[in-house]
Structures are given as structure tokens and as C-alpha cells.
Amino acid sequence: MRYPAAETAEKHTRILEAAAQAYRQKGFSGVSVAEIMKATGLTHGPFYNHFTSKDALISAALQHISDSSVNLTDGFEASGKGKADFVRAYLSEAHRNDSGKGCLMASLGPEIAREPAFKPTFTRHVTGVIAKMAERFPWTSRSRAKKEALRTLAAMVGALVLARAVDDDELANEILSVVADGLVKP
């Protein structure tokens, strides 16, 4: 039985969104295709109508996450205050605690480092975020904007990874706070 194109597209998007959340929470090997399909309310059978393999799903999910988050600076004012608000939002306890909807770089960067097939999508995402940050926020000079944006992004991602990895909430919050303070100081 063939389904209308709109219904098929809606199911495809549901699968991508469920996979994106599950992979960010549990990693690529921590979740099965059956679990992803169950989260969408669909059975395992229709999976192959949408993707040829789990790797194809991972690749599509990474692109889906990237497409929906590369413009993460858009909600922040193009000013020093906007940059500070962006840094503090990224380095917040809420973001730390919501890995399923959080940053692709912090959630899956270490896994992608061991998965060469997914590096091109990840690289495009990272360079896109750096470009958006460099363009949107003020830096010491236009010629240094990319380098300063890269340094800021690396510090933010590293701090979030560390804060998520420790089992001490006080230390996790201190990591986020200290790095945010260092990045937004005048």
C-alpha cells in the first residue's frame, strides 16, 4: 500500500527527530533501529522504506541536527550583550542536562572522531557555526573574528563535555560558570 507523499515525509521527519534525540542521548551504538522506530510509533518494517541502513540513518540524522542548529546564534542580539547571552545559554545547567536536544558537537563529537564516514557532515556543521558566530557577534577585530569565534566555540563545547561527564553537580556547574565568566569578561 502506498501512502501519500505528505504522510511519508512526515514519517521520515519523525524518524529523523527520534534518531537525532536518541543518538545525542545514548550514542550511535547505544540505541537500536527498533528503539528509534518504537519512539516514532512505527514498527521496524517501514524503516527500510526510508533508509538503506543504520549508517544511512545516522548520516541523515546528523545532517538533520546540523540543519536545525547551525543557526543557533540567530536568537541572540548581534552585540556584546547578545554574545554574552549566547555563551551563558550554551553553558547553562539546562543545556547540560538536556543532551537529547542539545549541541551536536558536545554530544556526538567524540563518537564522530572514531567514525570517518560522518566527519564531512560534522566538519560542515562546525565550520558553519564558527562562521555564524564570527559574522553575528563583535570581536576584537574583523580580521580576528574567525579565530576568536573558534576559540570561544572550542571552550564552550569542551566545558559542556566536561560538565556532562563529571558525577558532581557542584563541579559541573563550576566548570560551566568559570568558562562562561572567562568568555564574557570585558
Whether the per-residue pLDDT at 132 is higher than 70: the answer is yes
Sequence-separated (6 or more) residues with CB below 8 Å from residue 184? 83, 84, 87, 88
Together in a domain, 40 and 79: no
Query: pLDDT of 44-90, one tens digit each?
Result: 777 888 899 999 999 999 999 999 887 889 999 999 999 999 999 99
Domain that holds residue 14: 5-66
Average pLDDT, the chain: 92
Together in a domain, 121 and 46: no
pLDDT for res 10: 85
Together in a domain, 119 and 86: yes
Together in a domain, 117 and 161: yes
Together in a domain, 76 and 36: no
Query: pLDDT of 102-124, one tens digit each?
Result: 999 999 999 999 999 999 999 99
